[in-house]
């Protein structure tokens, strides 16, 4: 993953221990940081500058911000986090690991960047997002985010009434086809060697979805740079302008191995994500996960909401730890007075 260091100005990494480090500067990470910063927590967002939706022209299904370019949304989010004292640092995490806890047992973590810089945090929010893995079809990857789409809710309106093809990858593609059929009357389903029972074929026929069982050889580009169609192994070209693919979704885990966060697989090998509980809690005390790293199907709005919820829970956890530390300090301060009183009475 390349680091886009020129995308925006970066803040300086602080030298002191901070309340929270957020790994990932997408919707989930920034909204989590916003909640923490507004609660007067010291928070640092580490952002690699490589959001999943970077190729998209706009964010959709986000009330009040429908169609906003992804880069503009994130820039606005960074400004809002900084407005409340949060920091956003351009960089890539090479290691995040537990460190020695405080005297009261409060967790500590060391986060190290690829350039060797590091900082210590009391809590971590993992919001690294996911990586979409496309099927190995010649000519497909170059159209990703434009002629090749994966989500009918994110891109469906924009490709409505186009000749659409579904490149099957497994059972999930059947559901995919039914959703894209809502958007166009011209839909072709390329089985690509995946099983398709007679009942499903009958349902497709009832919805006028054409099924092609001949193996796919390549995606052919049009003169305008878009997609012209799908070339089959027998040489035939099936004209298509848009291809829909259910990608394999893999949570980004680089640099996080030492945290030993539990993972969970989706059925049929369709993805792998961090396993979390309520509000993004994990089995590792002091670590939360939010957004696509744990909810692979979450759109931008859902990811942002999950980040906000995780941030609020992190602040509550920090407040409880602060209280325990204050109580311990008060008890320690009172102890000498109690000892002197005992001596005087003796």
Query: Angle, nearest 10°, between helix axes 70-83 and 27-38?
Result: 20
Contact call for residues 279 and 313 (beta carbons, < 8 A): yes
At 6 the pLDDT is 42
**Domain-by-domain residue ranges, the chain?**
18-132+248-332, 135-245
At 182 the pLDDT is 97
Structure-block tokens of residue 230: 């799908």
Task: Please choose, from the candidates 257, 266, 316, the residue with its C-alpha nearest in 3D space to the C-alpha of residue 286.
Answer: 316
At 57 the pLDDT is 83
At 268 the pLDDT is 84
At 342 the pLDDT is 55
At 7 the pLDDT is 55
Topology match between the domains 18-132+248-332 and 135-245? yes
CATH no. of 135-245: 3.50.50.60
At 340 the pLDDT is 58
Sequence-ordered alpha helix ranges (H) in 63-171: 70-83, 152-155
Contact call for residues 4 and 20 (beta carbons, < 8 A): no
| pLDDT tens for each residue of the chain, 346 residues long | 333 434 578 999 999 999 999 999 999 999 999 999 999 999 999 999 887 777 778 899 999 999 999 999 999 999 999 999 999 999 999 999 999 999 889 999 999 999 999 999 999 999 999 999 999 999 999 999 889 999 999 889 999 999 999 999 999 999 999 999 999 999 999 999 999 999 999 999 999 999 999 999 999 999 999 999 999 999 999 999 999 999 999 999 999 999 999 999 998 889 999 999 999 999 999 999 999 999 999 999 999 999 999 999 999 999 999 999 999 889 888 876 555 555 555 5
Between strands 187-190 and 164-167, the pairing is: parallel
CATH class of 18-132+248-332: alpha beta
Report CA torsion sign: 12, 13, 16, 17.
Answer: positive
Between strands 242-245 and 248-251, the pairing is: unpaired
Query: Angle, nearest 10°, between helix axes 300-345 and 27-38?
Result: 40
């Amino acid at each position: 993953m390349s680091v886009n260091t020129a995308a925006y100005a970066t803040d300086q990494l602080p030298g002191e221990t901070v309340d929270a480090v957020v790994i990932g500067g997408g919707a989930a990470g920034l909204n989590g940081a916003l909640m923490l910063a507004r609660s007067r927590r010291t928070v640092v967002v580490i952002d690699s500058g490589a959001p999943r939706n970077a190729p998209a022209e706009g964010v959709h299904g986000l009330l009040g911000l429908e169609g906003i370019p992804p880069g503009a949304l994130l820039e606005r989010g960074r400004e809002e986090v900084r407005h409340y004292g949060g920091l956003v640092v351009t960089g890539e995490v090479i290691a995040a690991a537990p460190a020695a806890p405080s005297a009261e047992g409060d967790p500590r973590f060391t986060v190290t960047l690829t350039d060797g810089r590091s900082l210590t945090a009391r809590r971590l929010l993992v919001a690294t997002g996911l990586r979409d893995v496309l099927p190995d079809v010649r000519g497909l990857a170059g159209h990703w985010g434009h002629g090749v789409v994966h989500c009918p809710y994110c891109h469906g309106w924009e490709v409505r009434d186009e000749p659409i093809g579904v490149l099957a990858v497994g059972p999930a593609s059947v559901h995919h086809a039914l959703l894209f059929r809502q958007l166009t009357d011209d839909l072709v389903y390329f089985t690509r060697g995946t099983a398709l029972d007679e009942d499903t074929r009958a349902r497709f026929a009832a919805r006028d979805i054409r099924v092609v069982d001949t193996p796919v050889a390549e995606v052919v580009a049009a003169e305008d740079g878009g997609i012209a169609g799908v070339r089959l192994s027998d040489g035939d070209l099936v004209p298509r302008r848009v291809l829909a693919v259910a990608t394999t979704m893999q949570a980004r885990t680089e640099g996080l191995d030492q945290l030993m966060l539990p993972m969970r697989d989706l059925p049929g090998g369709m993805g792998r994500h961090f396993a979390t509980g309520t509000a993004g809690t994990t089995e590792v005390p002091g670590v939360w996960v939010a957004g696509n790293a744990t909810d692979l199907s979450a759109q931008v709005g859902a990811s942002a909401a999950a980040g906000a919820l995780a941030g609020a829970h992190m602040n509550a956890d920090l407040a409880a730890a602060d209280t325990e530390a204050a109580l311990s300090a008060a008890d320690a301060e009172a102890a000498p007075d109690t000892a002197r009183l005992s001596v005087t009475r003796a």
